Amino acid sequence: MSDHLAGGYDLAVFDLDGVVFLIDKPIPGAAEAVERLRADGTAVAYATNNASRRAGEVAALLTGMGVSAAPAEVLTSAGAAAALIAEHVPAGSPVLVVGAEALRGEVRDAGLTPVESAGDNPVAVVQGYGPEVGWKVLAEAALAIRAGATWYATNTDRTLPSPRGPLPGNGSLVAVIRTALDREPDVVVGKPQPALFRTAASLAGAERPLAIGDRLDTDIQGAVTAGMDSLLVLTGVSGPADLLSAPAERRPTFVAADLSGLFRPADQARVPATEVDGWHLTHDGDRATLSGSGDAVDALRLLCGVTWNGVPATAVKAGSDAATGVLRDWGL
Ligand SMILES: [Mg+2]
């Protein structure tokens, strides 16, 4: 076993948006990281809450960006949701689909009948992100749920990352029906529920899987719930200030600026850290002062040791010019 971080694991389960790519552009270093894992004998899987593409399409998209992926390595919340519904209702049952064509295809392939109207008496409503989802189908879904259909959400991500900033995700569209009906979905399939990660691990026959994600509230919480170690990369939605104030159920095992952290010593990514190169922390009651200089992620790992034990992130003061710089960069 190697002493680099990835060497301790037999499977790397990647989130996609914010980890491997941003919308349609690969994140620098992602393709190389996947190839190096494969060369080292570490299995690779991709687990995405995005329900707007099918596994084969996701694999083709990744391959087109230079990131190697086979359809069998891809788990989407759309495929998992359709499989789950099919386990609970008779074959051929009508299911109202709120989402993209990919979700409709998964429902059909699971042996169910996709419908568009509450008048078709659907036994279930399945809701996933789709850029064309509008008021009309949301209204049909609300009527069907009120009439007794079971409400499945592929995921409840409030936002999607984009080069222009966060955009409304499926969770924001779920919130429309939640507000209208004053109730929660019956079943949420995607992260932070553990189903995608657990399925990825069992399909790969992995004993020591590592989850890799950019969101504390989905990827990291899902890994914690699944009992898996996790790596937070800072190339997507969650930033340093989010990590400093993360509740216990959203704390990763490791943090790194990007996927190159997989190939550095595990102890240089573990969080929290009690000692790092260059930075010093003095801690007095509910106040802490950061001084010295060095790598910003090292400062972050050190600070988590106090903010995860009750010191508010806003009570951390700078004791050097470099500390002033990192705290300002993190919006503190
Ligand atoms: Mg993501």
Distance between Cα 200 and ligand 1 center (Å) = 16
Task: Write down the catalytic residue from 3, 15, 186, 229.
Answer: 15
| Catalytic residue check, 217 | no
Q: What burial letters (b/e) apply to 253-271, b meaning 16+ CB within 10 Å? A: bbbbebbebbbeebebbeb
For residue range 7-53, list pLDDT tens digits in order. Answer: 999 999 999 989 999 877 899 999 999 999 999 999 999 999 888 89
Cα angle 266-320-314, degrees, rounded to a multiple of 5 = 75
Q: Kindly state which CATH superfamily the domain 5-49+192-268 is placed in.
A: HAD superfamily/HAD-like (3.40.50.1000)
Burial annotation 220-233 (CB, 10 A radius, 16+ → b, else e): bbbbbbbebbbbbb
Sequence-distant (6+) residues with CB within 8 A of 278 are 292, 293, 294, 295, 298
* Cis peptide preceding 114, ω within 30 of 0: no
Residue 22 is inside which H or E element, if any? strand 21-22
Residue 186 is a catalytic residue: no
Fold of the domain built from segment(s) 78-188: Rossmann fold (3.40.50)
Q: Could you tell me whether strands 94-98 and 43-48 are parallel, antiparallel, or unpaired per DSSP bridges?
A: unpaired
pLDDT band at 168 (very low <50, low <70, confident <90, very high): very high
State the chain's maximal CA–CA distance in angstroms. Answer: 66
Taking ligand 1, which is a single-atom ion, which protein residues have CB atoms under 5 Å away?
15, 17-18, 214, 236
Model confidence over 40-90: pLDDT tens digits? 999 999 999 888 899 999 999 999 999 999 999 999 999 989 988 998 999
Q: Name the active-site residue from 3, 10, 17, 186.
A: 17
- Is 78-188 the same fold as 5-49+192-268? yes
Q: How many helices (H) and strands (E) does the chain have?
A: 11, 18
Q: What is the pTM of this model?
A: 0.86
SS (H, E, C) 212-229: EECCHHHHHHHHHHHCCE
Angle among Cα 115, 119, 120 to the nearest 5 degrees reads 40
CA–CA gap between residue 104 and residue 100 (Å, rounded)? 7
Sequence spans of domains, the chain: 5-49+192-268, 78-188, 279-329
Say which range, 67-81, 151-165, 245-259, has the weakest mean pLDDT: 151-165
Burial of 207 (0-12, 13-18, 19+ CB in 10 A): exposed
